[in-house]
Structures are given as C-alpha cells and as structure tokens.
Amino acid sequence: MNKQHIQDLLDKYFEGETSLYEEKELKNFFRKTELLPEEWKSYKLMFGYFETEGMKRMPVKNENQRRKNFFWLAGIGISLAASVLILLTVFLQPTRKQLEPFANATKKLEQNYAVNPQNKKTQPTKSGKTQPVKNKKLKGVPVRKLLDDDASNVLANNRDHHLKQKNFDEVIDASLSPLDNMKVVNNAMDKFKYFDLMNKYLPDQDLSTFTKTKN
Amino acid sequence: MEIWHKSFRDKLYRLALRLLNSSDEASDIAQEVWTRLWQKRAEIPKLNNAESFAFTMTRNLCLDVLKSSRLKNERLDAVHENTFVSPQSDSIELNEKMALIHQAISNLPEQQKTVMQLRDIEGYELTEIAQMLDLTQNNTKVILCRARQSVRQMILNFELHEQAAYSGFTR
C-alpha cells in the first residue's frame, strides 16, 4: 500500500465518498502500521477510537442490580404479610365470653345424646369365640331362644334410641324456637301471594267492572 | 433473525450511549427497545427492515429523554460520565488524545453524531442510515461529510494549540 493511495482514500473519506470496503481498508492500514508521518498520527487514533467504540458492550451489572432490588423488595413484602397475619390471628381470636353459648349448647347435646353404659354391656356380640365363659353357662338353652333374647335386646335398644332421638329433636326445636316467629311471618307473606296474582290477572280498572257486572 | 442476537442490543446501547452520554440511561433504552421488539415480533416479518426500525426507535426514545432533561435544565453542562479509556495504551498522552476525539464527536450536533456512530462505528450503508433517520441518501452523505470534517478540524486545532504550547514551554 503506497502513501498516495492512502492519501487518496483519506481525501475521499473526509468528503464522505468512501465505500464501507474502503473505510475498512483505512482502518486496517492504520491499525497495522506503527510508523506514520506526523500528520497521520491523529487519524490512527481516530480510526482506533471507532474500532474500540464498536466493541463496547451493554453492562450486565445493571440487570443484576435490578434483580437484587426485586428480591429485596419481595422479601420485605413477604415478611410484612407474615407479620400482619400473625397480628390478625392474635387480636381476632374469639374471647371465652363469646364462645360460652356455643360451649353450653354442645354440652347440652352431649348430655342428651350420651350413650347409656348399661346398654353397652348387654349389647349382643356375634362372635362366640371371644366370650367362651358365656357360652358355657348357656349350654342348655336352645339357640333359637338365645337369638330371640338377642332380638328383644336389640328392640329394647332401638326403643331407647328412638326415645333419645325424640329428646334430641326437642332440644333442637327448643334451640330453634326464635324461628317460630318467622313461621308466622311466612304465613302472612303467603297471603300476599294472592294479591300479586290478583294484580296480575285483574288490573284495577277491570276489577271494578268485573265486580259491577257480577252484581 | 439477526436482531435477536445480543450483539444487536449492544449496537442499540452504543447509539443510545453516544446520544445520552449516560450508561444507565442508555442500557435502559436499549433494553426497552429490545423488549418492545420482542413483543412485536409477530409483526416484524412484515417490516421491510427490522434493524433500521429498531435504530429509529432507539433514537426517538433518546431524543425524548434529551428533550425532557433539557426542560429540567439538567443537561446544559453535561459532564461526561464515560471518559474514554483506551485498552492498549498506558501513556497518559494517548488517553488524552482519545478523550479529545470522544469530546470532538460528542460536541457535534445530534444528527451528525448519530450518522457518524452508525457509519464509522457500526458500519451501516448510507441507504440504511437514510432510512433510519428518514432522510434522503444525499442529505445523509452531506451530514456525514460535515461530521467527519469538523472532527478533523477539532483534532487539527488541538494539535496546533498543543504545538504552540509545547514550543512556548521549550522556549
């Protein structure tokens, strides 16, 4: 590459006439050659600047910073939510006074629906092997009678059960007694149904004519 | 597609950096354009040139930022955050000259700066740059010519000044 060629390229370059290929040629020349005339030394720097600027890359640090910030914020948010939850559970716990009626009701139900321990003892067991002593005592008694006795036991139990059921229903009825008033209201509301029907099928004007003609 | 490569995002970053002189803002804008492109990737095959579209978008965003900061009078005496550091040279004089070239380019008007960045650093054809800036090819060439000449003039002026100072020092 002779000096004149480079000078021509430089002149063309500053007129904006060089092609990309020629500009590459210039860049290559100035990168490779160290010994240059004084007037070209700053061009070497200029083309070098272009080349190094073209290798700058977007910093990745920025994204990492953002991610870190995000995690930090997320951590704060989670801990805040947790503390609020804990506070809520502590302060919104029902007091004993508030729970008293429920406790009483459950006690009553338990008392009324409790199983009689005597019945449990007399309840028949199907497997004979588990109670060999009983079988020895009842050796002489016919099987049929045994079964009958069992049946009567079962019946007795059922009767008891029925009684308990009744008792239970009463308890429930008692607890629902405030709703009896609602029944009255409902009955009253039922009567209004007919007003609706009358309004639907017999509008005011027609109603008068209807009654007159009927008379 | 070539524009999905990270090196293309770096090109956008470099243009934004040239115009804004702030690494943080430039990477924000490059990332923004990148994600917008990704959201519109279905429409991109219809575009004639997605690359120049991306550069146009980057430039417009940068101009918006410049406008808003000019309103706040922040950038009137912009201090350059990114002073150029040459990787090879360890002599202070060389670094100073590089910084001078950097300064010369950043003193150019915005259009000249953009054209010079796209041509001399990124190596785009004049037709492509004209498309990006919505100019005619002739106009782009004139702008590029002016940019190169004024950079040369600034370097020559500095050298003359330096020579005078040097000779004065030796006397």
pLDDT per position as a tens digit, A158-194: 655 655 666 666 777 777 776 676 777 777 677 666 6
Tell me how crowded residue A178 is: count the other CB atoms within 10 A of its CB. Answer: 7
Q: Are residues B149 and B105 in the same domain?
A: yes
Tell me which chain B residues have a C-beta less than 8 angstroms from the C-beta of A26.
Answer: none
pLDDT mean over B155-167: 78
In the numeric block, which tokens belong to residue A30? Answer: 């100035």
Give A39-98 pLDDT, tens digit per residue.
888 899 899 999 988 888 888 765 566 667 778 888 888 999 999 988 888 777 766 677
- Tell me if A14 and B120 make a contact (CB, 8 A cut-off): no
Number of domains in chain B: 2
Q: Are residues B102 and B56 in the same domain?
A: no
Q: Are residues B78 and B112 in the same domain?
A: no
Q: Please tell me the distance from the alpha carbon of residue B84 to that of residue B103, in angstroms, as a whole number.
A: 9
Say which residues have a Cβ less than 8 Å from residue A119's Cβ, sequence separation at least 6. A157, A160
How large a percentage of chain A has pLDDT more than 70? 51
- Tell me if A23 and B97 make a contact (CB, 8 A cut-off): no
Q: Are residues B55 and B101 in the same domain?
A: no
Q: Are residues B97 and B48 in the same domain?
A: no
The confidence band for A215, taking pLDDT boundaries of 50, 70 and 90, is: very low
- Tell me if A16 and B13 make a contact (CB, 8 A cut-off): no
CA-closest candidate to residue B24, choices A68, A61, A53: A61
CA-closest candidate to residue A109, choices A30, A52, A164, A185: A164
The confidence band for B147, taking pLDDT boundaries of 50, 70 and 90, is: very high
Domain extent at residue B10: 1-82
Q: Please tell me the distance from the alpha carbon of residue A45 to that of residue B94, in angstroms, as a whole number.
A: 8
Share the mean pLDDT of chain A.
72
- B residues 73-92 near A, CB within 8 Å? 84, 86-87
Q: Are residues B100 and B60 in the same domain?
A: no
At A106 the pLDDT is 75
pLDDT mean over A122-128: 50
Give B35-53 pLDDT, tens digit per residue.
888 888 777 777 767 888 8
At A141 the pLDDT is 58
The confidence band for A8, taking pLDDT boundaries of 50, 70 and 90, is: very high
3-state helix, strand, coil in chain B (%, to 5): 75, 0, 25
Contact A47, A30 (CB under 8 A): yes
Q: Are residues B68 and B101 in the same domain?
A: no
Tell me if chain A has a CB within 8 Å of the CB of B27. yes
pLDDT mean over A16-43: 90
What are φ and ψ of residue B83, in 5° steps?
-75, 140
Q: Are residues B105 and B39 in the same domain?
A: no
Tell me which chain A residues have a C-beta less than 8 angstroms from the C-beta of B14.
Answer: 53-54, 56
Q: Are residues B127 and B77 in the same domain?
A: no
Q: Please tell me the distance from the alpha carbon of residue A154 to that of residue A135, in angstroms, as a whole number.
A: 19
Distance set, CA A93 to CA A81, A89, A102, B26, B105 (Å): 18, 6, 15, 54, 71
Is pLDDT above 90 for B156? no
Q: Which of A124-138, A194-208, B24-38 has the highest mean pLDDT?
A: B24-38
pLDDT mean over A11-29: 92
At B41 the pLDDT is 78
Tell me if chain B has a CB within 8 Å of the CB of A37. no
At A23 the pLDDT is 93
CATH of the domain at B4: 1.10.1740
The confidence band for B171, taking pLDDT boundaries of 50, 70 and 90, is: very low
Kindly report the CA angle at B166 between B164 and B169, in degrees rounded to 5? 110
Q: Please tell me the distance from the alpha carbon of residue A191 to that of residue A199, in angstroms, as a whole number.
A: 13
Q: What is the largest CA-CA distance in chain A?
A: 140
Indicate the domain borders of chain A. 3-53
In the numeric block, which tokens belong to residue A22? Answer: 């020629």
Q: Which of B34, B61, B82 is the last residue of a domain?
A: B82
Tell me which chain A residues have a C-beta less than 8 angstroms from the C-beta of B98.
Answer: 45, 48-49
* Residue given tokens 């060999």 in the structure block: A132
pTM: predicted TM-score of the whole model, two decimal places: 0.55
C-alpha atoms less than 13 angstroms from C-alpha of A12 in its C-beta half-sphere = 15
Is pLDDT above 60 for B76? no
Q: Are residues B104 and B132 in the same domain?
A: yes
Q: Are residues B56 and B108 in the same domain?
A: no
The confidence band for B130, taking pLDDT boundaries of 50, 70 and 90, is: very high
Give B48-70 pLDDT, tens digit per residue.
678 888 999 999 999 999 888 87
Is pLDDT above 50 for A133? no
DSSP secondary-structure letter at A60?
S
At B165 the pLDDT is 75
